[in-house]
Amino acid sequence: MSSEHGGGYESSGIMGNKNLWLAVGFGLFIIIGFILPPPAGMLKIMDENGYAMDMFSRTVVGSANDIEKAIESGRIQIADKTLSEDVQNSIENGVFQKDYKKFVKEKAFQDAVFSDPVMKEKLIKQAAGKAKLVVALTVMVVIFFATDAMPVGAAALLIPLFGYFFTLDGPGVNVIAKNFFNDAAIFIIGVLALGYAVAEVGLHSRIAALILGGFRGFKGPIFAVTVILAILGSFISAHALAAFLAPVMASIYYGSVLDARKKGLLKDNEHDKELAKMLLLALTYGMNVGGVGSPIAGGRNVIMMNYFDTLYNVPMSFVQWVLYGLPMVPILGVVVGIYMLIRFRPKVRDLTPGIMAIKEELKKKGPMNYGEKVMAFVLGLLLFFWVVPEFLGGFGIELPIGSLGIGGPAILALVLPPLLRVVDWEKMLKGIAWDAWFVYIGAMGLGAFMQNTGAALWIAMSFMGILPDLATSGLGLWVSVSFLSGLITNFMSDAATTALLGPITTNMGMLSGHPFEPWASGLATAFATSFAHFLVIGTPNNVIVYGLARYPDTGERILHPTDFIKYGVVIWFLSLVVMWIFTFIIVFNIVGFPDGMYETAKETMGAAGAVASGAASGAAVEAAH
């Protein structure tokens, strides 16, 4: 049996055998990573899509000793005279090993090395080996997340550990490290600190009363969470909402449970684990589905809009995106709410006591105290910096405040509360869910490894290569690309998924000749990346709620990584189905697409040579077989 005290998770039988799953995970890593040969499709992608040469230029593959011997033997001859002399002098002076990293950055040197068939084949195999290791690492980590074979934070840290030991990126260790600490990583720390501080001063109770105070009973509050908050999450940072609403859900839960204990529905100190999970997952999935509503709901949306403009010269406006995406949000929210009500069977089926308990508590507290005012100010400041510049940017208006990203403002959540003496610094450090942060940085690094080694492209092309003719145009294509992007986004960031698949799927759309392209395939790709429901690493919303969702009396976790798989797979599929039926069939045809869009995009493709890029994508699909 595996149990996390108070967290509501128990597993017995084969799923609870941690040693077995550790052996399975590590065993599959060894088999996939070292024993099985790389698939022929992966080798072709390493060659035809330039991953082998790219990894060679970053010293991820290749060895200075092998290259030096090939040059001395005459197998490698550098056409550029100046570069050739520099290389020869370096070899003669015995410093080639030192100068090697400088030489590999030169295009003429790269071309010379890959002109040797023996060396080229060797480097392609090495590159495919790196991609295969990333696939193996992904399989292993997902098994550990799904089975609780080891603590989720420790499992996530296997990703950077193996990245270092097997040189999955480069050049040098600093590049590997950068995959795990960037603007988004700072943002997550800040949001986790914000969630702690808001709950510590009690501001979360006022937020709860403001949003849910008018709802009573059981179904009303559930739909308020899944529908109203989903719509809000389309225009306000869903990650921030998740951060300060996770403690709110826990408070409403606890107030309802205390009332149930008084009425004899629950024993003393008994928890209704079904209700706790239901409320927190309703919040998580509601926030996730709101990601399709507007361009500012996520970086993935902005990336796709940029592709429409730069690749095809058919820019999409802020309002146009909202017309396609926002109508789906309340419907998705209703579907999430219905699923929660059907799937969960809590003993406590009245949330009114929890909501009223919060309102009564606020009456006793009276006006906002100093700590609440400070955190309300901090929250408002963060929302301003997160929302307003990006919102105005959608209309071409830039504020004179520099490039803040999402991490810059988030640092305020770490600095201002202790600086203004509303929370204790040491307590805040202990209150931050560091394992949730480890999960997120691990996910970021895994996504970078998948993208930089070509592993993600191989997975995508393998999927595309098995599509029937029905799925190569129109509705069939949109369903297929959304299914693929919705699947991959659970393993790597939504922005990275969109960045990787966007050029491929929009090119496929253009090659189909459908008049709705490239917008239709692009929207299908970007919308589906909001549905990262079934792995805790899939999106910051999952990570944040997982990290902050704790029982108010014991402080133990409410959610477990396996809960996302157990309940999220169905929500993931339902989200896709709603998009397929409502958006692709109804919204696309009612809203329509600009006249002449396909023709403009086709002309741009021809002018920019993008048709050749599309052909290359087709070749990669063939290579994936």
Question: Which residues, listed in sequence order, are joined to residue 550 by a DSSP beta bridge?
Answer: 557
Asked if 376 and 329 sit in the same domain, the reply is yes
**Domain shared by 174 and 189, yes or no:** no
Residues 144 and 188 both lie in one domain:
no
Is 251 within 8 Å of 211 (Cβ atoms)? no
Q: Which helix (H) or strand (E) holds 477?
A: helix 474-488
Are 65 and 140 in a shared domain?
A: yes
Show the tokens assigned to 200. Answer: 């510590």
pLDDT at 160 over 70: yes
Within a domain: residue 273?
yes
On the question of pLDDT at 115 being above 70, the answer is yes
Among 8-12, 93-97, 147-151, 366-370, whose mean pLDDT is lowest? 8-12
DSSP line for 317-351: -HHHHHHHHTTHHHHHHHHHHHHHHHH---S----
Same domain, 347 and 240: yes
Tens digit of each residue's pLDDT (9 = 90 or more) over 417-471: 999 999 999 999 988 878 878 877 887 788 778 878 988 788 877 877 787 877 7
170, 274: one domain:
no
* Number of other CB atoms surrounding residue 413 within 10 Å: 27
Residue 152 lies in a domain: yes
Residue 546 lies in a domain: no
Q: Check whether residue 154 and residue 190 sit in a common domain.
A: no
d(Cα 444, Cα 162) in Å, to the nearest integer?
Answer: 14
Spell out the long-range contacts of 303-306 with Cβ–Cβ below 8 A and sequence spacing 24 or more.
Answer: 303/495, 303/498, 303/499, 303/502, 303/526, 304/498, 304/502, 304/522, 304/523, 304/525, 304/526
Q: Last residue of some domain: 178, 209, 238? A: 178
| Residue 164 and residue 246 in one domain | no
Cβ atoms of residues 171 and 101 within 8 Å: yes
Instruction: Look at residue 31 and tell me if it is in a domain.
Output: yes
pLDDT(123) > 60: yes
Query: Who wins on pLDDT, 125 or 296?
Result: 125
In this prediction, residues 381-404 reach a mean pLDDT of: 71
User: Between β-strands 2-4 and 9-11, what pairing exists: parallel, antiparallel or unpaired?
Assistant: antiparallel
Residue 624 lies in a domain: no
Q: What is the dihedral of CA 343, 348, 353, 355, to 10 degrees?
A: -20
- State both tokens at 363: 């009456």
Share of the chain above pLDDT 90, in %: 44
Please report whether residue 338 resides in a domain. Answer: yes
**Any bridge partners for residue 347, and if so which?**
none
Asked whether 234 and 294 are in contact (CB, 8 A), the reply is: yes
CA 9 to each of CA 6, 144, 507, 539, 557: distance values in angstroms, whole numbers, following the listed order: 8, 15, 45, 22, 9
Q: pLDDT-derived band of residue 306, with 50, 70 and 90 as boundaries?
A: confident
pLDDT at 238 over 80: no
Residue 389 has pLDDT above 80, yes or no: no
* DSSP for residue 3: E
Domain end (from 147, 178, 209): 178
Q: Would 438 be classed as within a structural domain? A: no
Q: What pLDDT, on the 0 to 100 scale, is given for residue 8?
A: 39
Do the Cβ atoms of 254 and 286 come closer than 8 Å? no
> Are 70 and 196 within one domain?
no
DSSP 95-137: -HHHHHHHHTT-HHHHHHHHTSHHHHHHHHHHHHHHHHHHHHH
pLDDT in tens, 519-546: 999 999 999 999 999 888 778 888 889 8
Question: Considering 375, 403, 433, which residue would you say is the last residue of a domain?
Answer: 433
Tokens (6 digits) for 314: 């058919």
Report the 10 Å Cβ neighbour count for 23.
12
The per-residue pLDDT for range 19-67, each reduced to its tens digit, is 999 999 999 999 999 999 999 999 999 999 899 999 999 999 999 999 9
Using DSSP's 3-state secondary structure scheme, residue 368 falls into coil
What's 382-425 look like in SS3? HHHHHHHHHHHHCCCCCCCCCCCCCHHHHHHHHHHHHHCCCCCH
Same domain, 363 and 378: yes
- Whether residues 375 and 315 fall in one domain: yes
pLDDT reported for residue 6: 35
What is the average pLDDT value for the chain, to the nearest integer? Answer: 85
Do residues 124 and 208 both lie within one domain? Answer: no
Q: What domain range includes position 365?
A: 184-433
pLDDT of 624: 36
471 belongs to a structural domain: no
Residue 529 has what DSSP assignment?
Answer: T
Which phi and psi (to 5°) does residue 316 adopt? Answer: -110, 135
pTM over 0.95: no
Q: Has residue 619 got a pLDDT over 50?
A: no
Query: In the structure, what pLDDT confidence band is assigned to residue 188 with cuts at 50, 70 and 90?
Result: confident
Tally of structural domains, the chain:
2
pLDDT at residue 129 is higher than 80: yes
